[in-house]
Structure 1
Amino acid sequence: MTDSIPPTPNGLPTTTSTPTTSTTDTITTTNTFPPSTTPSLSSIITHCHTKIHTFLSESHPADSLLAKVQLQTRTSLNVISTALHRYPLNELSLSYNGGKDCLVLLVLFLASLHPHPAPEDGGLTSIPAIYALPPDPFPDVEEFVQWSARAYHLNVLKYTTDPPRSTIKSTFEDYLFVNPGVKAIFVGTRRTDPHGAKLTHFDRTDSGWPDFVRVHPVIDWHYAEIWAFIRHLGLRYCGLYDRGYTSLGGTADTHPNPKLRVEVDGEDAGEGVEEGRYKPAYELTEDLEERLGRN
């Protein structure tokens, strides 16, 4: 099944959570982005570019988390720049599901489009994107993807996967059938994701799959680096992350991460704890613990 999410902004809300400041690496989240107004795509691109390059100009201790994020950011920008030189914009698309990794990818991609002509000068009016969702999506994720489409001017085509009738493979077949000009798709896969261990920055799809190049700008980012970027830049993110979810799928196979369960009087709160009894996702630090909330 396919559906289109209109990209036109309309009353954008502000942040999803109470801003906090971490004393480690001075990660601040007092600024929220995008703003609660309705900026044009060219304004969003300029704003992303400014935020990223302001961050890269900051001075952080060489062994700090934010210094590592700066190195990862520069690498990702180089990958995106290479893709933009290899392919015209009308041959590029973005895989976006509202998760933390593709959010980082989206902001880096938008920043890379600067300087960008305004729509009246022949520039983009929206960013093409594919959203492959599970048969049992979280309402919070659906809401955040729709908000993202408005805030970041994404032209999202939404496909529901429901194996064996509809799979990730058939989803991309359907997407490329209606978008035959797309030659490369940016994907927010990281090294510790399933099937991510051997990926490079540019990988053509395997035999038997619809033919396109997968571009992986954030493939080597660590979990803590993703969250440091999001929080330091003050990006709005899906509210499930504030309730202990660290990896998002469908309602049947996704649960709050047990490593973030709040202890009560020195003991684990146990099964069936109430909502809000988990620490937020950004308090997890280990890559290999990220998917402990997934079946």
Structure 2
Amino acid sequence: MSLDAKIDGARQLLREVLDRHGPRRVAVAWTGGKDSTLALTLWRGVLRDGAPGARPLALNLDTGCKFPEVLAFRDRLADEWGVEMHIARPDVAPGYPVAVDRAACCRDLKVTPLLLALRRLDVAVLVTGIRRDEHPDRAARPAREPVAEPPHLRVHPVLDFTEMDVWAATMQLGLPHCELYGRGYRSLGCMPCTLPPEMAGDAGQGAGGERAGRAADKEAVLASLHALGYF
């Protein structure tokens, strides 16, 4: 499938979301990374055409361990694009042992704040930037993924895009991206769990590919995190 066909398919999926749910109960899970920025861009375009004047709603998980470059990019772009951004932060005690038990850390710093924010905002649809080819756990995901608690639908418009597709779309649509990509990072997570791919081998992180810089023990439990409510 060509890139243009993938973009058209993603837009059609989002148009169906808008037609069924309207603009106010749809949020984009926006990390500040390239994939979710593309998803946010596509949703903005659908809103512009189908609900003029509606501001895109973005939900951002700020674990307290994010790269300052990612946060600066997020804040600047949200302001430039008129994004209504809600930042979900964890409620943990000072001195929380970050990245000691990575599964527990992701649960406490990401999953729990995410689910609380979805309830608080009464989100009916969460649009994500996940892709099939970035992790084995995501390979068989459906484009529309119902979640029981809290009840909502997760929609993955760039699920069938490859890493190269995302960068090609980024260039084609003239989208900005975080400066860390220019320094060799291919996938941006929390600072304790993310290294540039060229450093990952020496540090024992990852197993090659786009997410090679992510902590291997965290990557191994992504299926469990998904079962808890992560995307």
Which position in structure 1 is the counterpart of 2:187? 247
8 A Cα contact 1:169 1:210, kept in partner: no
TM-score by length of 1: 0.61
> CA separation in 2, counterparts of 1:82 and 1:117?
13
Which letter does structure 1 place at the counterpart of 2:16?
Answer: T
> CA separation in 1, counterparts of 2:146 and 2:172?
33
8 A Cα contact 1:160 1:166, kept in partner: no
**How large is the RMSD of aligned CA atoms in angstroms?**
2.5
> CA separation in 1, counterparts of 2:5 and 2:155?
19
Q: Residue 187 in 1 paired to residue 128 in 2? A: yes
Q: Residue 88 in 1 paired to residue 22 in 2? A: yes
Percent identity for Structure 1 against Structure 2:
26
> CA separation in 2, counterparts of 1:114 and 1:155?
14
5 Å-filtered alignment, 1:5-16, equals none
Gaps of 5+ in 2: 93-103, 216-231
> CA separation in 2, counterparts of 1:258 and 1:189?
23
8 A Cα contact 1:94 1:185, kept in partner: yes
Which position in structure 2 is the counterpart of 1:280? none
5 Å-filtered alignment, 1:31-46, equals none
SS at match of 1:249: coil
> CA separation in 2, counterparts of 1:142 and 1:234?
21
Q: Residue 293 in 1 paired to residue 222 in 2? A: no
Q: Select the structure that is richer in helix.
A: 2
5 Å-filtered alignment, 1:96-245, equals 96-115=30-49, 123-124=53-54, 126-161=55-90, 163=104, 166-180=108-122, 182-194=123-135, 195-205=137-147, 207=148, 209-245=149-185
Q: CA deviation at 1:172?
A: 2.5
Gaps of 5+ in 1: 1-66, 262-269, 273-287
SS at match of 2:58: strand
Deviates more, 1:246-255 or 1:83-92: 83-92
> CA separation in 2, counterparts of 1:174 and 1:69?
36
**Bigger Cα Rg:** 1
Q: CA deviation at 1:114?
A: 3.2
Q: CA deviation at 1:71?
A: 1.6
Deviates more, 1:126-135 or 1:236-245: 126-135
Q: CA deviation at 1:220?
A: 0.6
Which position in structure 2 is the counterpart of 1:69? 3
Q: CA deviation at 1:116?
A: 5.2
